[in-house]
Structure 1
Amino acid sequence: MAFIAHPERRPVLIAGASSGIGAATGEWLAAAGYPVALAARRVDRLQELAEKIIASGGEAVAVPLDVTDEVSVRDCVAKAEAALGALEIVVAGAGDLAVGRSYEIGTDEFASQVDIHLIGAHRLYRNVVPAMIDRRRGDFVFIGSDVTIRPRPWSSAYVAAKSGIDGLVATAQLELEGTGVRASVVRPGQVLTGMGMNLDQKTTEDMLNDWIRHGLARHGNFLQPEHIAQAVSAVVTMPRGAHMRVVEVEAEGALGTPDKNSGGEN
């Protein structure tokens, strides 16, 4: 059977759209002509972003979402579809960051990270993918992290949760083969967002020193949220018949001084 082309109108739901990667992805896709449902707990911020998108000629709606609450997830999906139509694209990027050494972080805090980043993403996935399968098309994009291949000290709960995302996506890709639905994961490196910016100075210094000690801070360059938005856009705009399964995005190191012996300019 030939692949069914994507329809002209592809409504998008973005979880975690009140700031950072989610907000940038909402703006980027809206500018490309996608109707976007912006979902998160901070509805006031969502509304501001939706109004900005609409003022720029796009189509957007703000929808409350708490990915740790099954009822909230179901209501969010229903409200997004009532406003925009059946969801063609869903981006699961809700999350926050709790840091601490693995033997010091509390069990409840550890579990909370897993609930938000992994179980929350699965709640959203299971509430939208069956209908995508019925329509024989759809894109579900998980925002993962490069910590799954380069774990960082002080991030054990986050690493465990994002490693679970990798496992979920790998399994989903096998199960969705031949359904017309694509599950993908985008793994960003360090991104300059609000996550982790509320840490006290000593915690930040101790954590960064451990990263440096293990060679995990090669340079000080960070990605911008817009870089990840572009990666998500590349995934979902791929024509039917092809599948960008895993996309890794890392910050490029600063240009060094040309080596006189390497043929570079003086």
Structure 2
Amino acid sequence: MTEMPYRTALVTGASSGLGRGLALWFGKRGVKVYAAARRHDNLEALAREARVTGADIEPVALDVSQAEPTLERIRALDDACGGLDLVVANAGVGGQTDARHFPWEHAKRIIDVNVTGAVATLSAVLPRMVERNRGHLVGVSSLASCRGLPQNAAYSASKAFLNTFLESLRVDLQGTRVRVTCIKPGFVKTEMTAGIRHVMPFLLESEPAVELMGRAISRGAAEYGFPWPMDRAVGLTKLVPNFLFDAVASRVL
């Protein structure tokens, strides 16, 4: 097992799915993990499971949609552990936002969590990482960020924001030892995708998806999209003219 370049890590959205998997993945490799989410009972169960394997995972009750409390809580964790080495902004929500019947309340929730919550998580101790000249910021985006997907205006846009935000951070941090990684999963079998009824190409089970993500983060990849056939296909859609993309995409769902 490769030695981890981190002593401590914070993973948000860790009560289920990819966040839960990442918390265990890093915990089993000797990293002290602060697993954060709203569902504290799920986090307690995760911590108990981790102890059986010798992993050190500490539950942290956190709702990233509340930006100010999120900033304060993460800074307090940073103080308590002597500096977070890795911060993974994984917490996210999805769901349809059809323009014909646009659900403002749900769109706001997506933006509060996927945009405001992610920025609060990633920026909370960024100045301290720069001062320490070490650290790693990771944002979990999505291949759905490639273009405006049908009935997903809020979700696709929220992840496109995260892509650009992380890229700008990466550029600004050139010349420092603070790294930035943007992870773009395709379809993975989790709670978030459980309600999707349309075809999900190259659908991955959670465990292999977590393995791919963990390895990409550990090697400090700037960007990593997976599975690779879906990543390549999505990249090609950027070359499709708008009139053709609109005609095809509007018939997908």
TM over 0.5: yes
Q: Show structure 1 runs of 5+ residues with no match.
A: 1-5, 254-266
- 1:103 is paired with a residue whose SS is helix
1:47 paired to 2:44 = yes
Distance in 1 between residues matched to 2:77 and 2:210, nearest whole Å: 20
Match of 2:206 in 1: 225
SS where residue 208 of structure 2 aligns? helix
> Does the C-alpha gap of structure 1 residues 8 and 20 become closer, same or farther in structure 2, counting only changes over 3 Å?
closer
TM-aligned CA deviation for residue 227 of structure 1: 3.0
Retained in 1: the 8 A contact 2:75–2:125? no
- Other structure's SS at 2:34 match: strand
Judged with a 3 Å threshold, the aligned counterparts in structure 2 of structure 1 residues 151 and 191 are, in CA distance, closer, same or farther, namely farther
Q: CA deviation at 1:8?
A: 6.3
Q: What CA distance in whole angstroms lies between the structure 2 residues aligned with 1:147 and 1:9?
A: 30
Contact (CA 8 Å) 2:187, 2:193: kept in 1 or not? no
TM-score (norm 1): 0.78
- CA contact under 8 A between 2:148 and 2:157: conserved in structure 1? no
Report whether the alignment pairs 1:248 with 2:245: no
Shift of 1:83: 5.2
Instruction: Letter of the 1:121 partner, please give it.
Output: A
Q: Which amino acid aligns with 2:123?
A: R
Q: Find the aligned partners of 2:160 and 2:112 in 1 and give their Cα distance.
A: 13
Amino acid at match of 2:221: M
Identity of paired residues, percent?
27
Give the paired residue count: 228
Q: Is the 8 A contact 1:64 1:76 kept in 2?
A: no
Deviation at 1:82, TM superposition (A): 5.4
The residue number in structure 2 matching 1:256 is: none
Q: Specify which structure has the bigger relative contact order, considering alpha-carbon pairs within 8 angstroms and separated by 6 or more residues.
A: 1
Deviation per CA, 1:41-100: give whole Å up to 9, x if none.
001101110121122111110001111112331343145335543100011010121213
1:76 aligns with 2:57: no
Query: Counterparts of 2:6 and 2:215 in 1: how far apart (Å)?
Result: 17
- 1:257 matched residue in structure 2: none
Residues 96-116 of structure 1, C-alpha deviations (whole Å, 9 max, x = no match): 212131232222321221121
Partner of 2:218: 237
Give the match's secondary structure for 2:73.
helix
1:103 aligns with 2:100: yes
Unaligned 5+ segments in structure 2 are 231-253
| Greater alpha carbon shift after TM alignment, 100-109 vs 112-121 | 100-109
Match of 1:191 in 2: 188
The answer on whether the counterparts of 1:63 and 1:80 sit within 8 Å (CA) in structure 2 is no
Deviation of the 1:150 alpha carbon: 5.2
Q: Distance in 1 between matches of 2:159 and 2:15?
A: 20
| Equivalent residue for 1:65, pick from 55, 62, 66 | 62
For residue 63 of structure 2, what is the amino acid of its counterpart? D
**Structure 2 CA distance, aligned partners of 1:72 and 1:56?**
32
